Structure 1
Amino acid sequence: MPVSESVFLHVVPQPASSADPSAFLPGALQPPELSVQPNYPEYFEGERVVLICSAFPNGTVEGYRFFDQDGQQIVKMAADPYQKGKLVLRAESSKMGNYSCDYWTGKADTEVTSAQSHSVSLQVKEAPEAPTLSLNPNLIEYNLGDSVSLVCSAPPETKKLKEFQFYGDRISISAVASYGNIYMYNISIMELKDVGLFRCGYIVHLSGRKVISKKSNPVTVVGLGARWERMLAIGGSFFTINSFIFLISRWCF
């Protein structure tokens, strides 16, 4: 299925609200500036988005608050050493809408809150379709020393494919796409990192940058058999013995 072009994440500055008349009183705190990094015309599901609230008052900023489009506070935080507040998001459809922020100075009974910033509108574009992941050979269980291939297949219509990524319970692998829309990553089952649940994804070049797809279906490499169980038992025994020695040493000293 081709990537949908109907929904996108685009930052649209909105005029500052004039609902708070105190913002115009002499000595009142000026509204902060709300910006977004990285500043792309559009974003895709899963991408990291940082909303940055910046204030430049005469005094010290104690903290920041961020609000959703309903005016509900979603985050309250202390200011960083640079007197900024940062809200880190992962782009997804449930987080679409308008965001704004404010800040406060002083403490306890001397606290003064600024007017809210202008708002930014966040909307999300669908990530490239997920690949499919399979095992070759696809066995119920694998013994120590067996080989298995993780076969990641991107949709046939995928263009500008740059890279494949594999995610395991204890390992992550990146591989440059060599040819076609299929990549086989070969595993020799020798360690715990070589078994467990795996998924994969691929990276394509869209809108002038690398964009990662949705993650594939999961597959599970089950490492059993007499030799595998014996290795785990030996490893567990060594761990127990070392832990016991450590505890005795701590007690003695």
Structure 2
Amino acid sequence: MELTHLLPALACLQLLPWLVSPTAPNPAPAFSIDPQKDEYLLGDTVALTCSAPHLRDPVTQFQYYSNMGSAVTSTVSSGWKETYNLNITDLQCAGEYICVYYTGKTYPFNKSRESNRITIKVKDPPPQPTLSVNPPPREVNEGHRLVITCTAPGDASERRFHFYQHGAEIIPGDAGSATHITAPGTVPRNVAVLSIPRADTNSSGEYSCGYEEKDSGRWIPSTRSQAVMVTLKERPVASSLSRELAVGGAFFTLNGLIFLTTYFLMKCQDSRRTTTQTLYRAKPEGEPQIYSTIDPSVLPSPSELSTPPASVSPADQQYI
């Protein structure tokens, strides 16, 4: 009867070697950090070293854990200690860390007890900046000026600003842009401006900004601003067509005026030249008509025409 109740327990014990090592846990390793600081800054790199005592079986693995849920496994071929370089890139790197090691050549490995705990505190980054766009509707006309302003809270003595488009940093001078940053020592020191003189298809997209503050001789990056979407407003087709028609009409009108002016000037010049006149002299019916072409300058005045010259016979005077 008692044996019957022990059978399930014995079955569970037979499975245990596949889950954990049947031997006692290895001694806890020594856990250290370098450099040691009360508070770390974003961008710092620390060395976490896990050192196992010298045992009969070689160490095959080291594992690092944090209370934030991260874990790192490092496999080694020989040696009794392992160093993991932790890059502090965000606030999630803060927390408590421990390490363990495993010995044994084949599965199941023998796990050690947990090491001492190391606490990493990360200093909060500079406050988030704000991003504004001019024109305010965040819609810029093609060929017009686009101005993006990044404003940081507070008034730090030294700052460096950065602008981003689609997550990639904008280098001053790229795509026709010109970045202006308020010089140190001037007021305000918390504003930077990204200026694009002529917006084009490359100007539309998602913009954000960030800045760095100098702390203990190091530049500490802030969190990035909220992203702002800028769209490009193309020129209306009807407006462009009307403009082209107006320009074309003005061109033809101007050419017409030039042609008419030239034509009348030429007519005036022709009227001033020496011209000839054709005089018609009436003859009795049956006689041929005689035309005479003379220079108008030699014609007699009206008073002279009233008196027939002496050389004209009385018979001819009746036709004059």
TM-score, normalised relative to structure 2: 0.49
Decide whether the 8 Å contact of 1:104 with 1:113 is kept in 2: yes
In the alignment, does 2:195 pair up with 1:189?
Answer: no
Decide whether the 8 Å contact of 2:163 with 2:210 is kept in 1: yes
Distance 2:115 2:214 in 1: 34
- The answer to which structure has the higher helix fraction is 2
- Relative contact order, higher structure (CA 8 A, sep 6+): 1
1:140 is displaced (CA, Å) by 4.0
Q: Aligned residues, how many?
A: 195
After superposition, what is the alpha-carbon deviation per residue over 1:156-186, rounded to whole angstroms, capped at 9, x for unaligned? x322223001122153036765242211111
The 5 Å alignment of 1:1-253 reads 31-36=29-34, 40-44=37-41, 46-47=42-43, 49-50=45-46, 52-55=48-51, 61-69=59-67, 74-79=70-75, 83-92=82-91, 96-109=94-107, 111-155=109-153, 157-169=154-166, 171-173=168-170, 178-179=183-184, 180-187=189-196, 188-190=198-200, 192=202, 194-225=203-234
1:64 is displaced (CA, Å) by 2.4
Task: Kindly provide the amino acid, as one letter, of the partner of residue 206 in structure 1.
Answer: D
Task: Kindly provide the amino acid, as one letter, of the partner of residue 193 in structure 2.
Answer: M
Distance 2:45 2:89 in 1: 6
Distance 1:40 1:165 in 2: 29
Distance 1:116 1:79 in 2: 18
1:203 is displaced (CA, Å) by 1.0
Task: Kindly provide the amino acid, as one letter, of the partner of residue 126 in structure 2.
Answer: P
1:209 is displaced (CA, Å) by 1.5
Decide whether the 8 Å contact of 2:100 with 2:114 is kept in 1: yes
Decide whether the 8 Å contact of 1:32 with 1:102 is kept in 2: no
Decide whether the 8 Å contact of 1:62 with 1:105 is kept in 2: yes
Distance 1:200 1:184 in 2: 10
After superposition, what is the alpha-carbon deviation per residue over 1:113-133, rounded to whole angstroms, capped at 9, x for unaligned? 334332211233322222221
% identical equivalent positions: 24
Task: Kindly provide the amino acid, as one letter, of the partner of residue 222 in structure 1.
Answer: T
Distance 1:197 1:40 in 2: 38
Structure 1 residues 30 and 119: CA distance shift in structure 2, 3 A? closer
Structural RMSD (CA): 3.6
Q: Which has the larger radius of gyration?
A: 2
Which runs of 5 or more structure 1 residues have no equivalent in the other structure? 1-21, 228-253
